[in-house]
Amino acid sequence: MSDQINSLRINSERFKANFDALARIGGTQDGGVHRPALSESHLKAREWFKRQIEDAGLQFQVDTAGNHSGVLKSGPQNAPTLLLGSHLDSVPDGGRFDGALGVVAALEVLQVIQETGISLPFHLEAIDFTDEEGTLVGLLGSSALAGKLSVLDLQEPRGGRDLLLKCLSKANLSENDLPDSRRDPRSLAGYLELHIEQGMTLQKAEAEIGVVTSIAGIGSYRIIFLGRADHAGTTPMEDRLDAALGAGAFTISVRDITQSEFPQCVTNIGAINLFPAAFNIVPSKAVISLEYRAPESGMMKRLEAALLDRANMAAKQFKLGLETEFLNEHQPAPMDIRVREAITIAAQGLNLKTINLSSGAGHDAQSLAEICPAGMIFVPSVGGTSHSPQEYTKWQDCVNGANVLLQATLRLADQKSS
């Protein structure tokens, strides 16, 4: 690569101004953002992104899954497209960096390459995927684009069917049209995503850049224990069919089995709702949101079976009924070796200390890895905090990550032309 290309850097002032402007949309008192997928604030953030794309003279595009993109025609007419992106939605009361950093950096890379006027062997697209966080479904936009979403998958969404339909309608999207956003894999040169690490590995290693080797698979279930509503004052303890006891025993046994038999995995019970929910009624129903994550698909299957087994044991122990509803699953995804190489060389060219690491968090890159070479760049999260308003990444690390995204894009262009 020429010296001119090696020395290309992002415009850090513009990058910061854009990042800060975006953080104000849905910004919360404590410095975080509240932008659940397709909520008012998320739709406003998407309008902002559209305006930036148009003001930059890039081509704006939105597909039937609501994925928003800015396109730079930087390659020959029939060339494939290299996607750069992440997501603008957040978890409820989340942080400013998760997802937003990758989208703003992608836009910045397109602007820098547009300004230099260089041609590449591919076109570039900065993309904001719909509902990465799973307020509605999880990886909704990227799964649809990868051709992995069927309308059947949407019958029991994580956030409930009513919310999904209401949000789709608010965003002028139709459930039946979502799968039409599928892209032909031949039209894609690859996918690159910059993201905060959301863990402590980089900070502990005193490394500036993480090259992601693989992304953990994620599965989710709704687990329902069924008991019997009774008077809490007159029903003897031994005669109760108390759904809360099933939920409690299950919660503890999920933690125990994960730690003892699946040390490389994590599990989470993120919600337990009891019904009818009153001080003086024995709970007749406990509805649990269960999520499990594993680095490899065989292990993920074994973990799933073990968790269901534990649910059965808890139901038996307290003489309860049990219903288990499988919600969805995203397979573990290895990152492409050539893309990893491009990221590593790009970071070394910038004199940044890199390490390889796997991701326990889910990302749109795992959908894309199923159809094209995909890779991820991580930057350190202070204290490992994320999915919280306290989420923080030092600005210099954000700039480093965006420069690695730019240089890795140019390395991939170089790989492709040689």
Determine which residue in the list 63, 98, 153, 336 makes contact with Mn ion, applying CB under 5 A.
98
Q: Which is nearer to Mn ion, 98 or 108 (CB)?
A: 98
Q: How far is the CB of 322 from ligand GLV (least distance, A)?
A: 26
Taking each helix axis from N to C terminus, what angle separates 297-317 and 243-261, rounded to the nearest 10 degrees? 150
26 vs 362 by CB, closer to ligand GLV: 362
> Does 362 participate in binding ligand GLV (rule CB under 6 A)?
yes
Q: Which is nearer to ligand GLV, 264 or 348 (by Cβ)?
A: 264
Sign of CA dihedral 48, 53, 54, 55: positive
How many of the other CB atoms lie within 10 Å of CB of 109?
Answer: 28
Q: How far apart are CA 283 and CA 68, in angstroms?
A: 45
- For the bound state, the minimum distance from the C-beta of residue 189 to ligand GLV, rounded and expressed in Å, comes to 25
| Gyration radius of the chain's alpha carbons | 23
d(CA 150, CA 158): 15
In the complex, what is the shortest distance from the CB of residue 94 to Mn ion, in angstroms, rounded to a whole number? 7
Length of the chain: 418
Q: Quick check: helix, strand or coil at residue 261?
A: helix
Q: Which residue from 32, 99, 295, 373 is in contact with Mn ion, where contact means CB under 5 A? A: 99
- Residue 330 vs 411, nearer CB to ligand GLV: 330
Nearest-approach distance from CB 120 to ligand GLV, in angstroms? 30
Contacts of 186 (CB under 8 A, 6+ apart): 80
CB of 163 to ligand GLV, least distance (A): 17
Cβ neighbours, 10 Å, residue 395: 12
- How many C-beta atoms lie closer than 10 Å to residue 7's C-beta? 10
Binding partner of residue 362 among ligand GLV, Mn ion, none, CB under 5 to 8 Å per kind?
ligand GLV
- Decide if 28 contacts 390 (C-beta within 8 A): no
**45-65 in b/e burial notation, b at 16+ Cβ within 10 A?**
bbebbbebbeebebeeebbbb
Rounded least distance, CB 98 to ligand GLV, Å: 6
Is residue 197 part of the contact set for ligand GLV (CB under 6 A)? no
- Strand pairing of 209-215 and 354-359? parallel
List the one residue from 1, 281, 308, 361 that touches ligand GLV (CB under 6 A).
Answer: 361
Contacts to ligand GLV from residues 125-144, by CB under 6 A: 133
For Mn ion, the closer of residues 241 and 402 by Cβ is 402
Measured from the CB atom, the residue of 98 and 242 that comes closer to Mn ion is 98
Judged by beta carbon, residue 129 or residue 250, the one nearer ligand GLV is 129
The residues binding ligand GLV (CB under 6 A) are 133, 361-362
The residues binding Mn ion (CB under 5 A) are 98-99
